[in-house]
Structure 1
């Protein structure tokens, strides 16, 4: 990968003063770095978009993801973005760390920007610096950011150990395995992939179910293109997801702010790597299932999926749609079809790549331990439960009973 040469413009430099003047040069194993932190991300758009184009990343590390999240989710909750950029002694950008700050228990917490809805969270690092940074370097940088933002603790969740061959320097810091892993499909020839993942009987069953759906009317697989189609698919998704969450006994995370966030992403131009592509399967005009995501660096990253609750659910419309989209992705020459984080039947059926993830809960002040210790313990307990089938089934049963009682 080519080294990045991203020089700081005067406009970008002026935007760095949102928190405090620039941090003095920090000596690291990769050389001296000048650290700048800003909450005015519009001023650094040219640098961010250039960096995301040259560095392996997912949609959650792109500029418009961060911008839309800041506007629709972060601002209403009283949080602000805190994007840190490290420049080498020659003025070139070496990394960009998209963070946000939120208040919790009277203290400021540092998180990855938009990590609550992201599959994978990490920073953008130039290839020539990522392997060189040490644990001491990362700790020094992180504490410098804490001094600028007033953060007492950091909650960094859903981080991969590496991405597309580039090591994640944050894995050098104190961490624990995350409750969930990420699942993806390395693509190629579709027929070879399909035959390797599904036995003949499973393929015949899926084909038979598709034919049964077609007996009820025209079956159409597609992507929303017009504003009207986008509204229809998103409205259906939010409705279907609310029903799914209610049946599972969990809180619906797609409130008005989250809906605004995803509608913003869906309205972006087609060539934008942050654009939410809305996929669906419809029977005689009635949307039965959705799989939606963004294409970034030859990877389709699934962000949203939902399924009808009507009688056609028995014919597996979601599985039909997923098969169709994966075949299409193979035909378009994409490298990966990423199904995201968390276990599910369709992920275990299709995935030939699993990404172990880690979480870091780091106290940045003595008071910060009051936040990080219970958070880390809770996450560890969640992992124990989720990785034990009996405990996970019991937890789901208890949750449904509690929600049914409170309804």
Structure 2
């Protein structure tokens, strides 16, 4: 059963066998109270938090298709989705999915614990019917089917493994306990050497940006450092778009109160002859006992022998321990420094729910592209060859311009 609800600007679909009602909302505000209640759960990704999604929609003018599931009058889930066009295909996806490291949606613990195969089928059918006039394909990417000791409600649904995994470090009571599984003796020696070398270069301060002006200046510094890094590698700058930069500026200025912080900027600021220059930056988000490193950058000309980026990770992890954080997340992407720090590797999946013929073709293409990327990234020689080709192509384009 589907009908329009003018007062909430939503579409309702009711699945009678379990009395699951799925509503389609085109605005966030009517759901704010329930949204904020659901997002308190440690299981829920901070990327589906209300403030993070609001910042994205304000800076990108998103076409929202937010789904709320209700059973017996109680909200049991919210899926914060937006619809984007990819060619001729309308794709419903998590809000701001290009810059999310992990997606869970917002589900009550009770719903998660009872999401068996029968309920999964009902859920998938209800989502497809609720979005039948909005999208050709529902692509819910970067979902960990096993996360924080629980199975995701979509686990078992037809999906493809995402080409990138994410990496986490569980935090114990002290730095010594935390790094014990990570070749602690070698890591402590490296840390002492980094301190010695950076002190020889004039010393440093560990800065946590406070105040609007300092946050703005540090974020602009990050954008410059990252642009230089992408340019040197011959890669496209994913932070270049004005709306992307506006989003991160807005998120940085937000404050949820308490320990929850949508985006906090940490940096190593040099002293001595290099006084005031920023050697490394990290953007951290916290929700509950979970911190995600959203991004990082370095100035390769400033004390490179001290590895300021690695040094900054030590400092922020040390502070996270003092603040009672249980899980430090380095996010998506397989990098050597992540493997040096992390003892957990999390597999993520892309759930693809085609609604129309165009959506079925797009789902097939998505699977093909993902599997191809997985093969390429699993072959270091092939991956390096493609990276060199991209760099040469970009350099040639720049010369022609």
Q: TM-score, normalised by structure 2?
A: 0.91
Q: Kindly provide the CA deviation profile for residues 216-268 of structure 1, in whole angstroms up to 9, marking residues without a partner as x.
A: 22301121011121012101110001111111211111121111111111111
Give the aligned partner of residue 104 of structure 1.
86
Whether 1:182 aligns to 2:171 is no
Residue of 61, 64, 69 corresponding to 1:86: 69
Name the CA shift for 1:193/1:329 in 2 (closer, same or farther; >3 Å): same
Q: CA deviation at 1:363?
A: 1.8
Give the distance between the partners of 2:42 and 2:32, measured in 1 at CA.
Answer: 15
Give the distance between the partners of 1:202 and 1:153, measured in 2 at CA.
Answer: 46
Q: CA deviation at 1:321?
A: 0.4
Residue of 332, 335, 340 corresponding to 2:331: 340
User: Unaligned stretches of 5+ in structure 2?
Assistant: none
Q: How many residues align?
A: 384
Name the CA shift for 1:178/1:369 in 2 (closer, same or farther; >3 Å): same
The residue correspondences of 1:61-210 to structure 2 (distance < 5 A) are: 61-73=48-60, 75=61, 79-89=62-72, 91-133=73-115, 134=117, 135-147=120-132, 149-188=133-172, 189-198=174-183, 200-210=185-195
Secondary structure of 2:136's partner?
A: strand
User: Unaligned stretches of 5+ in structure 1?
Assistant: 1-12
Secondary structure of 1:403's partner?
A: helix
CA contact (8 A) 1:161 1:171 kept: yes
CA contact (8 A) 2:292 2:331 kept: yes
Give the distance between the partners of 1:299 and 1:283, measured in 2 at CA.
Answer: 29
Whether 1:323 aligns to 2:314 is yes
Secondary structure of 2:232's partner?
A: helix
Give the distance between the partners of 1:196 and 1:143, measured in 2 at CA.
Answer: 45
Give the aligned partner of residue 255 of structure 2.
269
Whether 1:248 aligns to 2:233 is yes
Q: CA deviation at 1:199?
A: 5.0
CA contact (8 A) 2:21 2:71 kept: yes
Q: Kindly provide the CA deviation profile for residues 61-117 of structure 1, in whole angstroms up to 9, marking residues without a partner as x.
A: 1001111111113x1xxx41211011112x111111111101222331111111110
CA contact (8 A) 1:41 1:83 kept: yes
Secondary structure of 1:276's partner?
A: strand
Whether 1:42 aligns to 2:29 is yes
CA RMSD of aligned residues (A): 1.8
Give the distance between the partners of 1:296 and 1:404, measured in 2 at CA.
Answer: 41
Name the CA shift for 1:384/1:27 in 2 (closer, same or farther; >3 Å): farther
Q: Kindly provide the CA deviation profile for residues 289-324 of structure 1, in whole angstroms up to 9, marking residues without a partner as x.
A: 111111112111111211112142232000000001
Residue of 5, 9, 28 corresponding to 1:17: 9
Whether 1:27 aligns to 2:16 is yes
Whether 1:302 aligns to 2:290 is no
Name the CA shift for 1:194/1:132 in 2 (closer, same or farther; >3 Å): closer
Q: TM-score, normalised by structure 1?
A: 0.89
Whether 1:56 aligns to 2:43 is yes
Name the CA shift for 1:305/1:140 in 2 (closer, same or farther; >3 Å): same
Residue of 188, 209, 213 corresponding to 1:224: 209
Give the distance between the partners of 2:280 and 2:354, measured in 1 at CA.
Answer: 43
Spell out structure 1 runs of 4+ moving beyond 6 A: none
Q: CA deviation at 1:137?
A: 1.5
CA contact (8 A) 1:220 1:283 kept: yes
